[in-house]
Amino acid sequence: MLQMLRSAVFAVALCPVMAFATAQVPDHIRIDGVDHALNTNPLEPHLARKNWKPPEDAAISSANWRGYIASWEVAQGQLVLNDVTIHVSGSEPGDYVAKSILSDLFPSTTTPVVADWYSGALIIPEGEITHYVHMGYGSSYERYQVLRVASGKVIERLQLSADEFERYKAEKFKAFTTTDEFKESLENLRKDADTLTDEQLFDLMKSYYAERYLSL
């Protein structure tokens, strides 16, 4: 999360119009037998600790900065990882096929994998897009689910309208701005991009820190 935010800060500082100007392919999550797009990437903390990089044969595109797609499920009150795939070249030129790398990432763990490394908030959009933004997970939707997760266990599940979601985010972010964590992060970002105003940095933090402050 922090690395992605720093990348965003540098992109905005260098070229505000083009920064992260591509909508991202989301992970997927199944809840109560229904599949949803997931506007959070719970695998990132695990991969960061492993210093993981996409394999050389993985196809990386501007629509998938992270280089993989993960499939999740909420089962018995836990967040579990069912699969992780990358895209590799197929038999025909320009053809790409999905390849599972789950066993490479978790060689000694039986599947599905309980995401006990993850604590945060899962953001799940529902319904029609009400405002399209060609950047990251920036588009707005009719409704949202927010699942607060602590060490892989779902501790709260909220179902919110778009207006309720925006109010919820605003309240949580306001509380987050009073914490030492926020103040330290803001100070570090000021050093990374001294050409950006605090208002611009606040906007970036409100977007890229959502899974953190919504979990508090």
Inter-axis angle of helices 198-208 and 2-14, nearest 10: 140
Contact status, residue 48 vs residue 8, Cβ threshold 8 Å: no
Q: Tell me the mean pLDDT in the region 42-67.
A: 88
Candidate from 14-28, 30-44, 161-175 with smallest mean pLDDT? 14-28
Using DSSP's 3-state secondary structure scheme, residue 107 falls into coil
pLDDT tens for each residue of 162-193: 999 999 999 999 999 999 999 999 998 888 77
Opening angle at CA 33, ends 126 and 71, nearest 5: 75
Contact status, residue 146 vs residue 186, Cβ threshold 8 Å: no
Q: Tell me the mean pLDDT in the region 29-44.
A: 96
So what's the pLDDT on residue 15? 40
Opening angle at CA 63, ends 145 and 60, nearest 5: 125
User: In angstroms, how far is the first alpha carbon of the chain from the final one?
Assistant: 16
72 contact partners, CB below 8 Å, separation of at least 6: 27, 28, 29, 30, 38, 42, 79, 80, 81, 82, 115
Would you state the structure tokens that stand for residue 54, as one six-digit string? 């996409």
Task: State whether the Cα torsion 39-43-46-48 is positive or negative.
Answer: negative
Residues of the chain by 3-state class (helix, strand, coil), percent to 5: 30, 35, 35
- Show me where the domains of the chain are located: 2-213
User: Any alpha helices (H) in 25-146, and if so which ranges?
Assistant: 44-50, 102-105
Q: Tell me the mean pLDDT in the region 100-111.
A: 89
Is the pTM for the entire model greater than 0.85? no
